[in-house]
């Protein structure tokens, strides 16, 4: 097994993908990298760790050469709401970053994982059971970079034979690291607020239906897709995957099964609501089932139970030190 490099490793996904990859392939085989400069103690805690700005091709080349990298999980990006607040930066990070990764992969023959998104679809796409191959005319800069990124992955696979693999991920729910500026962040926030305050004000309307997934399913999806038999893969841009299609009101009801007094109200943010309204309500992920045996484990009830149990433990106040 050659070395794996993860860009954007300190974000919501990387914080769980890196430990999972290390468990699979060995701790010294997975190099975590991010734009963030960690204090020495932080860098030691997640070593091997390197500072790496994916918009700088020289840093990428140097890291891939130095660590003899054979596979890159390219997570660094701005998410939908953060990207809409800074479209020029989003283009630079999301597009130059991916282009640099693909170019270095071409030079060193690396396998590449690219996380696309439900955001790669737009208002012209059929919104229910969105097919694997459907019209993609997103109206957000995030979506534009995801469609262009999918096409670029396809092109590098066809033109240069690079082993690119990708997933159109839905909103991810997790308890390890906070989400980084997306439209689906409300789902994670709702769990934190339910435990801390017993109430939550949601920035999307009660009936906004979107695909969601619990992080353990997303992580196993990424690792399984990268390990899948290449001859079975019909798509090199990105596969639709999903685990549930839910609204804020439905997540709140699931939380109420465990915290009966939980209350939710709504103060809609027009920017994020417009983004959500342009995305599919549910994806058809049958191609992923057929081509590489995609099978999520967590539905809404199972995710809610696990998420509340883990978060309750995480948010428990530290025990007070006993006086001697
Ligand atoms: P995140 O915002 O939590 O983390 C992104 C990380 O990238 C951050 O740690 C940030 O410091 C780093 N970064 C930013 N600019 C960088 C640069 N120039 N060079 C190197 N690192 C840089 O994002 P995430 O939720 O972990 O998402 C990772 C990927 O998955 C993104 O491409 C995102 O679009 C995609 N995705 C995420 C979700 C989700 O719900 N989290 C859903 C669909 C797709
Ligand atoms: C976002 O909301 O931007 C992400 C995504 C679905 O791509 N969570």
pLDDT at residue 45 in the model: 84
Candidate from 149, 166, 182 with most ligand 2 atoms within 8 A of CB, to mutate:
182
pLDDT at residue 317 in the model: 86
What distance in angstroms lies between residue 7's CA and the mean position of ligand 1's atoms?
A: 9
Is the shortest distance between the CB of 94 and ligand 1 below 6 Å?
Answer: no
Residue 138 vs residues 15, 120, 155, 203, 269: alpha-carbon distances, Å: 28, 6, 20, 21, 19
d(CA 4, CA 21): 8
Q: What percent of the chain has pLDDT over 70?
A: 99
pLDDT at residue 1 in the model: 65
Domains and CATH numbers, the chain: 3-170+214-240 (3.40.50.720), 173-211+243-281+298-314 (3.90.25)
Q: Is the pTM of this model over 0.75?
A: yes
**Res. 68: pLDDT tops 90:** yes
Name the catalytic one among 142, 175, 214, 235: 142
pLDDT at residue 247 in the model: 98
pLDDT at residue 49 in the model: 95
pLDDT at residue 320 in the model: 75
* Mean pLDDT computed over 147-157: 98
- Decide if 165 contacts 225 (C-beta within 8 A): yes
* Mean pLDDT computed over 245-262: 98
What distance in angstroms lies between residue 256's CA and the mean position of ligand 1's atoms?
A: 31
- When mean pLDDT is compared across 39-48, 204-213, 258-267, the lowest value belongs to 39-48
Residue 67 a catalytic site member: no
Shortest-distance atom of ligand 2 to CA 142: 3
* Mean pLDDT computed over 186-193: 98
Helix, strand, coil: what percent of the chain each, to 5?
Answer: 45, 15, 35
pLDDT at residue 93 in the model: 98
Which residue has a Cα nearest atom 1 of ligand 2?
182
Is the shortest distance between the CB of 118 and ligand 2 below 6 Å?
Answer: yes
pLDDT at residue 323 in the model: 66
* Mean pLDDT computed over 42-46: 82
């Amino acid at each position: 097994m050659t070395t794996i490099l993860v860009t954007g490793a300190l974000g919501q996904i990387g914080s769980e993908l890196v430990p999972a990859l290390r468990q699979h392939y060995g701790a010294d085989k997975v190099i975590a990298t991010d734009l963030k400069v960690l204090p020495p103690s932080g860098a030691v805690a997640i070593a091997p760790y390197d500072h790496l700005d994916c918009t700088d091709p020289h840093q990428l080349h140097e890291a891939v050469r130095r660590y003899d990298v054979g596979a890159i999980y390219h997570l660094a990006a701005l998410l939908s709401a953060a990207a809409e607040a800074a479209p020029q930066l989003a283009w630079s990070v999301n597009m130059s970053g991916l282009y640099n990764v693909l170019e270095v992969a071409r030079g060193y023959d690396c396998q590449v994982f690219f996380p696309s998104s439900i955001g790669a679809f737009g208002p012209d796409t059929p919104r229910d059971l969105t097919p694997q191959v459907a019209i993609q005319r997103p109206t957000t800069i995030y979506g534009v970079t995801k469609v262009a990124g999918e096409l670029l992955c396809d092109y590098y696979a066809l033109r240069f034979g690079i082993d690119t693999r990708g997933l159109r991920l839905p909103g991810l729910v997790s308890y390890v690291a906070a989400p980084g500026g997306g439209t689906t962040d409300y789902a994670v926030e709702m769990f934190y607020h339910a435990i801390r305050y017993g109430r939550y004000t949601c920035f999307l309307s009660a009936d906004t239906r979107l695909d969601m997934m619990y992080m353990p399913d997303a992580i196993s999806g990424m690792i399984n897709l990268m390990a899948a038999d290449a001859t079975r893969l019909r798509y090199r841009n990105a596969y639709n995957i999903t685990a549930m299609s839910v609204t804020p009101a439905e997540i709140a009801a699931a939380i109420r099964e465990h915290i009966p007094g939980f209350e939710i109200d709504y103060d809609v943010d027009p920017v994020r609501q417009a983004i959500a309204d342009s995305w599919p309500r549910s994806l058809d992920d049958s191609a992923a089932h057929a081509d590489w045996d995609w099978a999520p484990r967590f539905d809404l009830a199972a995710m809610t139970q696990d998420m509340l149990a883990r978060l309750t433990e995480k948010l428990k106040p530290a025990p007070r030190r006993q006086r001697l």
